[in-house]
């Protein structure tokens, strides 16, 4: 966990934070899949930002909310979702069907909260039923919290850079 904290807090690029977090989560929690998506409220869906173990979605791809009712529920309610056996659920939507087809049975979805708003979802998956423990869930929630802090820090630094550039432009204009 310490290595993940240090890695995600040492960079100021949001995409790098998300990719690093998804890549390193497998070292802390035994899983065959880890993904991070950000919410695109304008287009009503998710943008896949990073991870491993998913063959049917490429980085940067857009997934509409309507393709995954469970992920949409995580966004609406802001609560963690744990499914112990995807194969036992009825009426799966396209995204969950693809996960099941690839052999994933268990998954945990945790909202990424930035400034009180849900900005994305961190998901891990396993190809065995009931693969995750309450400790795994707790660890993933702590990690999601750290990712939220890192994303907020990255946004603040970006805003500060824009403010600085605007100030320099104003001074240059005044001097001219």
pLDDT band at 7, cuts 50/70/90?
low
C-beta neighbour count of 6 within 10 angstroms: 9
Residue 110, H or E segment: strand 106-114
Backbone phi, psi, residue 96, to 5°: -65, -35
Residue 53: Cβ within 10 Å count:
18
Count H helices and E strands in the chain, helices first: 5, 6
pTM assigned to the model: 0.80
Neighbouring CB atoms inside 10 A of 46's CB total 26
Q: Which residues contact 9 (CB under 8 A, 6 or more apart)?
A: 146, 149, 150, 153
| Distance separating alpha carbons of residues 129 and 126, to the nearest angstrom | 8
Query: Residue 56 — very low, low, confident or very high, per pLDDT cuts 50/70/90?
Result: confident
pLDDT digits (tens, 9 = 90+) for 100-153: 888 899 999 999 988 888 888 999 999 999 889 999 999 999 888 888 888 888
Rounded Cα–Cα distance for residues 112 and 82 (Å): 15
Tens of pLDDT along 57-90?
888 889 888 887 667 778 778 888 888 888 888 8
- Whole-angstrom CA distances from 18 to 39, 75, 91, 92 are 13, 18, 30, 27
């Amino acid at each position: 966990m310490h290595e993940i904290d240090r890695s995600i807090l040492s960079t100021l690029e949001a995409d790098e934070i998300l990719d690093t977090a998804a890549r390193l989560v497998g070292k802390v929690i035994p899983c065959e899949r880890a993904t991070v998506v950000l919410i695109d409220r304008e287009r009503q869906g998710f943008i896949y930002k990073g991870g491993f173990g998913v063959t049917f979605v490429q980085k940067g791809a857009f997934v509409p909310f309507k393709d995954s009712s469970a992920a949409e529920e995580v966004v609406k309610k802001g609560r963690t979702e744990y499914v112990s056996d995807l194969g036992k659920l009825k009426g799966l939507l396209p995204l969950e069907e693809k996960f099941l087809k690839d052999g994933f049975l268990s998954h945990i979805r945790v909202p990424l909260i930035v400034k009180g708003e849900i900005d994305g979802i961190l998901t891990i998956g396993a190809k065995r039923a009931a693969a995750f423990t309450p400790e795994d869930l707790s660890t993933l929630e702590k990690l999601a919290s750290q990712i939220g802090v890192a994303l907020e820090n990255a946004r603040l630094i970006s805003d500060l850079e824009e403010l600085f550039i605007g100030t320099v432009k104003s001074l240059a204009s005044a001097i001219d």
